[in-house]
Amino acid sequence: MSQLETLRGIASVLEVPCPFEFQDVYIKELAIDSRKVVLPAQSLFFAIAGDRHDGHNFIEQLYENGVRVFVVKADYSAPAKLDDAFFIRVENPLAALQTVAAAKRAQFNYPLIGITGSNGKTIVKEWLYQLLNQNYNIIRSPKSYNSQVGVPLSVWRMKSGNDLAIIEAGISMPGEMVKLERIVKPTIGIFTNLGQAHDENFTDANQKAREKLDLFQNVNTLIYCKDYLIIQEELEHYPFASSPKLFSWSRRTAADLQIGRIEKKDGQTEIQGIYQHNFLRIRIPFTDEASIENAIHCWATLLYLEIHSDDISRRMEQLVPVAMRLELKQGINNCSVINDSYNSDLQSISIALDFLSQQHQHPKRTLILSDILQTGRTDEELYAEVSQLIKEKKVDRLIGIGKHISSQAELFEETSEFFDSTEAFLAAYHHDKFYNETILLKGARSFGFEAISRIIQHKTHQTVLEIDLGAMVHNLNLIRSMINPSTKLMAMVKAFGYGSGSFEIANVLQFHHVDYLAVAYADEGIELRKAGISLPIMVISPEEQSFDAMIQYGLEPEIFSVRSFQLLENAIKRKGTLDSPLKIHIKLNTGMNRLGFSERDINQLVVRIKNNPLIKVASVFSHLAASENEAEDAFSRKQIASLDEMSARILEHFDYPILRHICNSFGIIRFPEAQFDMVRLGIGLYGVAPESSIKGKFRNVSTLRTTITQMHDLNKGDTIGYGRMEKVEAEMRSATLPIGYADGLSRKNGNRQGSVLINGHRAPIVGNVCMDMCMVDVTGIPCKEGDDVVIFGEDYPIEEFARNSETIPYEVLTNVSERVKRVYFQE
């Protein structure tokens, strides 16, 4: 343990005195996210204030969880009950985090590869790890930790046992890279490329290139591609503090690594090159242009590091895809399965276990883990650390597969099981081995965990709805950036989470601190409670028989009429006593004329609420009837004014705060003046937004995809489907897809009204849509049986698909049948 890993050392770096009783406190983790603190007694929390969240607001919660040392702003006033905590007071906690990380970096003199560029940073980093871990003990950035907070957290992980570090750095604004360079101090630099990301924050591409070059001002060597002319131009004038060796590669002009012929065949690409007058070649198991460029960056780096050409060739052929996402799928016996079986190393295990720890839908967490390969460490040392990590992440059961992990069985809990091989596990497997648990599959690719995945995942047909949880969080934060800091946010998870799965979506929203959830019916809210969701939940459509259950599970009903209020009072009388008043949400009718109290009901309503001490008003709200329609803006503003006036008549009678809200997703964007105290976010979470300057910033969340089951070559006169509605006029090729109206594909898409996307081409749906299948015209489209088919998604927007179906995106999403498997993934 170094001096810097004690609180005394950190306080010294920050030039702050440290009380004697805290001086020897061991700091293993630097924390910035209150939700991810695993070892509270060994964590130092930096209270960073962002645009939407201020870390100081979570200090009391962290204290209750066991954290005792904090870095806070100088003017932070700690509550008296935290008198046994130690606060390091600084002007800027983010700057303090960066200072501590820079001090940690200064302790080590082994090589550090710094990577930046518009695209490919994470892939190049992960591939370099795959290619070099036989030569070096490598520490690398977790995931895409390349920001102003991610980089210092990455550097803090450096240890004396490492002999190479690989750190990626990204920027979105001028001036940011200078700060990161002071932390990273790379000795070798890789500039991957220059694209259009964050262009809006720079005067031009040249300025952005100069800003990125700031990472390399003190490097010994810079590896880059000369074909990016702006990078080459700025390099010629950049004022390096050192005089670095420029190691270039190019497809077009003379360079240190001159790329020649590139040939793609059978899913592989052979790349030929000349280096130091020698003809070389590598083969990679990818054919896309981005992978080719990323592989050449890695090739140039290995050549610079003097890795033997034969080793390079062999390792390049063994490159595996970088698992940029973790997938959560439905498993057998009421289980959930997280599949991350591309690779297995301590860092990726820790990341996957973080995702596992966020799952609360089952009472038990199980890890199936293979041997960890090529670490250069002894088995005893390696698996002792694995055992400690599993304990820290609160895994209930370990199943170890492989001879190395099995040989260290005594390091793990008695409930652990071990098998020498995947085949041995499968031979001993019984269908009832797993029940009501979350299972994380984490294995090196050579162990073939796909076979385990197949037997523990729920068996469904080939049509799936993919939900990108990272894109959903992006959309959530985009909306948050548009509302006032004091405005609360209610997220709608009704109708099976807009077809995406109620619990899975609610779990993500709870993790990211939304203030409220809303469901349509009490049953939906009860299921969320049973799955561990603790957020306040509003029930929009409480049914007569559901009030007792709502009281039992702490759900908050919408009250929209005198009768619904009476039903609630009757349920409270049956209950007898309540631990605290039941919160309700008063719905006002401001013009939609669906549900809600009218103006003439308000006086009676207020009297009845004040006469019942067991009822408390949480909010008063209404619903915009046409927030998406510019032609009806005058009516929408009239509704907003009505809510303001009617709610004021209610609020004046109560001496506690009551929230007001009217804006839905479109209203948030189009009527920013009507945020009141809370807004309701629904379809906007899924990337659907009205035409506006911000529409292009939303990300697609849901992709419905299937595969080609069979193909037919048809002649003039042939017909397709029920009723023979498609009559073939000329030679034609058709494909049958395993998706029909029972899956949610409307029959209105048939007879060439709708289309699907196959290998980048639109294929019209021909004939009538069947219950379980449909047929498409693939004449002239390069495709084969088993190819992927997108019904709607990133490249075929759901709005366009909805128009073809003569409906709206809401209906498209909620109509996707529950028999269609939902696959959740997170970057």
DSSP output for 381-411: HHHHHHHHHHHHTT-SEEEEESHHHHTTGGG
Q: Which residues are catalytic?
A: 494, 722
Q: What count of other Cβ atoms lies within 10 Å of the Cβ of residue 771?
A: 12
Q: Measured between alpha carbons, how far is 799 from 814 in angstroms, rounded to an integer?
A: 14
Tell me the two tokens of residue 737.
């897809």
Closest CA to 332 of 366, 299, 355: 366
Kind and range of the H or E element at 454? helix 450-456
Report CA dihedral (176, 180, 186, 189) to the nearest 10 degrees: -30
- CA 706 centroid distance within chain: 23
* E strand or H helix at 70: strand 69-73
Distance CA 820, CA 706 (A): 10
Q: Which residues contact 577 (CB under 8 A, 6 or more apart)?
A: none
Phi, psi for residue 759 in degrees, rounded to 5? 50, 40
Question: Is-contact 706 752, C-beta < 8 A?
Answer: no
3-state DSSP assignment of residue 350: helix
Q: Which residue has the tokens 């190819």?
A: 787
Long-range contact pairs involving 401-407 (C-beta distance under 8 Å, separation at least 24):
401/368, 401/369, 401/370, 401/371, 401/425, 401/443, 401/447, 402/370, 402/371, 402/447, 403/371, 404/371, 404/372, 404/379, 405/369, 405/370, 405/371, 405/372, 405/379, 407/379
| Residue carrying structure tokens 């710094």 | 114
Pairing of strands 788-792, 702-707: antiparallel
Q: How far apart are alpha carbons 478 and 39 in whole angstroms?
A: 31
Radius of gyration of the chain measured on its C-alpha atoms = 29
Give the CA count within 13 Å in the CB-facing half-sphere of 635.
Answer: 13
CA 184/CA 104 separation, integer angstroms: 10
Q: Would you give the end-to-end CA distance of the chain in angstroms? A: 33
CB 513 within 8 A of CB 560: no
